[in-house]
Structure 1
Amino acid sequence: MSHASKSPESLVASQVDHLSSLKALTEKLKLETRKPSYLDWRAQLEAMLAQRRQSLGNTLGFGSIDQALEWLRKELAEMRLQDQQLARQLMRLRSDINSLRIVQTCNQHRRMLNDATFELEERDDMSDLCDSLKVIGVTKMNINSRRFSLC
């Protein structure tokens, strides 16, 4: 069977099989690549990874992961305290707002009662006047038709 007659999927599958069998054989025989380009590449990669780890720790200002975690715990605890303080402050503000609403409502009711009391006093005064006018013969009908005299 020639390669031209095989499908692309079977070619890929056979190449993967060959590669995996080659890797298995290499591990079994404990073979390593000693090619200078591979060894140089691997050394550069390891140096780059070590440098990244070191720069990560240095850029954050921590000597170790434990120090970074400790700082993070401290920050979270402070944030929790601030949240609690803000919650207490909001509760106080809410209470103050409710107290002001109650005072405002009481003032409105007091004004309404004062207005009603004033109207009742005016009616009492008017009824006394109306009674006096009735005694002298002035009635509602007389006032509306203007058929009265003060003499």
Structure 2
Amino acid sequence: MAVSHANKPLKSPESLAAAQDDHLSSLKALTEKLKLETRKPSSLDWRAQLEKMLTQRRQPSGNRLGFGSIDQALEWLKKELAEMRLQDQQLACQLMHLRTDINNQRIVQTCSQHRKMLNDATFELEERDDMSDLCDTLKVIGVTKMNINSRRFSLC
């Protein structure tokens, strides 16, 4: 494993590919769990061709698969699978970016809350300083806690 200048390990291409496959497999598991289906035109075309092939199997004909040959069907299937894999990778990448954005927003919100708490604490400390100045002034003119509690002192 390569090491960067900051002594942080860099991810190898194999580990990046494994991480992408892991995210892709977890995404696939989530879509199965939520029973989501694709609305991709090629997938819908494939489903229509599959239904067409199934109806042709019930009817006797020279070409049961709906393609010119098995090789053509395999090439079409390979092309479709490659496109779907690419789209899956793009979606997984988008989801990872969304996850990063959400985490960044959480950090910003937390920082804002901490800043507000610090401002409140600073205000409270300043208020205490002002109150201590007021208490010192009241002591100078003879107001004590005992005077106020026993109601012997009035401002009139």
Q: TM-score range by the shorter chain?
A: 0.5 to 0.7
2:60 maps to which residue? Answer: 52
Aligned length: 99
The one of 72, 88, 91 aligned to 1:86: 91
2:78 maps to which residue? Answer: 73
Unaligned 5+ segments in structure 2 are 1-56
Larger Rg: 1
Where is the helix percentage greater, Structure 1 or Structure 2? Answer: 1
Alignment of 1:2-151 (within 5 A): 52=60, 54-57=62-65, 60=66, 62-150=67-155
Runs (4 or more) in structure 1 with deviation over 6 Å come to none
**1:56 partner SS:** coil
Q: RCO greater where, 1 or 2, for CA within 8 Å and sep 6 or more?
A: 2
1:146 Cα offset (Å) = 1.5
So what's the TM-score if we normalise by structure 1?
0.61
State the identity as a percent.
83
Superposed CA RMSD in Å reads 1.8
Unaligned 5+ segments in structure 1 are 1-48
So what's the TM-score if we normalise by structure 2?
0.59
1:56 Cα offset (Å) = 1.7
